[in-house]
Chains A and B, each alone.
Chain A
């Protein structure tokens, strides 16, 4: 009998939005295999979150609490999630492909002797013959992969699985031993230097305005930020400007940064290197503003404006303001 376990992600007492996409993926898996799904939640003092997760149609919410789980570390969380996988009898383990998901899930797979498909964007087939589609080579290629182990582990991209809606009802909540061997832990969480922002998170935003090296210097990034704030959007950036230290690391969109798929993506002064496209070409509507008509970004843009950004971005911002009245 197939059984699915979703690894929920919480930090500082808050569930990550991506967890709901992972639940969305679990529902697809459930439909294809006839399996039911459970959710594992690890941490300390997280009863309230378990309650919240209980409205998403899972059979059981496994709650793993232990002093060693107070703050996220890969070693302790992998041990706890492994305990939950054992308790639930999971044949599929699903987590979001977030920083934590990428960090922790392979360790869970190793403990389970399972194969893992990372960054899954589609689940194909049904019953016992599933394959997973995942981007490779910076999204130049989609690979179709098959997992040969009895337990299959997936991390899924939030941009490609709709977040599950609450279905009402309430799952059984079961506290189980986290099974963390405190003596084996040789890492501790020290702290987080958080990027404070009142803007929506990049990966959740409906609108993303990203800036590139065409902005010339850090202080000009405010052109992008103003436009984003006006549209209630998030701000993204290319690796080039993150490397230059103009903006926080956390803003990088691309193969090795965040993958976003908003309704509207505006690329300002961005050439459109394949590594950048890998993180945004799933956006619904793409606008490119670049003064070079040959820039590759125009090949993925729905609307291209060949112009000097220093003229048209302020104009765009002021005309949008005027429209908003």
Chain B
């Protein structure tokens, strides 16, 4: 069985993102790391590998050359092989990422794709679903628990509005991860050493005959409206007074 996982490079969620006066983003000095939801995806694939014979885990990233680091991190966690599709990240949108992944899937023919439900930079929450539709595959987004039935199907519990839904998928299929699917492991030192020798192929969109034509384009960024500074109240009575007489919400 072969599992394809994604390892997207994103800004560290704890970094402050500054918007320049011209409306572009200042990412100088910002730290980068693997998208947390992708780490969960890599972890889930590795757990499946540990439970079954002969599972190959291939990690793929699409982005700048720097994204090699995230592929290496996935390899250090335990993935067997890496792929980087190198391109200018600023020229991508969710749809292009999905269409590039379609090409990778055609090459690799995985039985299962596990990826993050969203990347914590763009927060689009689209690529897994787009990819599944382009491939004509079933999907289970927002996975909370994945139970394999041999190597050909899975029951997936999903975090949805109002509870946890269970769906049954016949492979090949796409699964996108939610926060509570697992707790991703850290790469061990031997893992990091081993990762250096693992195979990592680099492609360009040209190799797949894909033109980087965006369907969705960001034309500018701005800061969200900031809230008026509030006041500190010193007692429950003072709070109740404010809520009743000023905010008029009770």
Contacts and interface: CB of A to CB of B under 8 A. Distances in A.
Interface of A: 16, 73-75, 78, 98-100, 102-107, 109-111, 114-119, 131, 134-149, 184-195, 201, 203, 207, 231, 239, 242-243, 248-250, 255-256, 258, 263-264, 274-275, 281, 284-287, 293, 298-306, 312, 315-316, 319-320, 323
Among A186, A274, A285, A323, find the residue whose CB has the most chain B CB atoms closer than 10 A.
Answer: A186
Contacts of A192: 160, 162-166
A138 B120 contact: yes
A116 B223 contact: no
B180 A249 contact: yes
Nearest to A197: B162
Contact of B230 (A144, A191, A293, A301): A301
Contacts of B163: 192-195, 248, 250
A298 B233 CA distance: 11
Nearest to B137: A186
A136 B121 contact: yes
Given A187-B169, A298-B230, 4 more contacts: A117-B216, A147-B215, A193-B165, A305-B236
Contact of B120 (A191, A242, A248, A255): A255
Given A74-B139, A187-B167, A195-B162, A138 B13 contact: yes
B134 A239 contact: no
A274 B13 contact: yes
Contacts of B117: 256
B13 to A, nearest CB: 7
14 contacts: A74-B132, A106-B125, A119-B123, A142-B222, A144-B221, A187-B140, A188-B167, A231-B250, A281-B227, A284-B247, A300-B227, A300-B230, A316-B239, A323-B240
Contacts of A184: 136
Interface string B4-40: 0000000101001101000001000000000000000
Given A116-B126, A144-B218, A149-B215, A139 B224 contact: yes
Given A144-B219, A148-B216, A187 B168 contact: yes
Given A102-B141, A187-B139, A193-B164, A287 B243 contact: yes
A299 B231 CA distance: 10
B133 A102 contact: no
Given A192-B163, A287-B243, A141 B17 contact: yes
Interface residues of B, number: 82
B68 interface: no
Contacts of A249: 144, 159, 164, 178, 180
B73 interface: no
B179 interface: yes
Nearest to B168: A188
B124 interface: yes
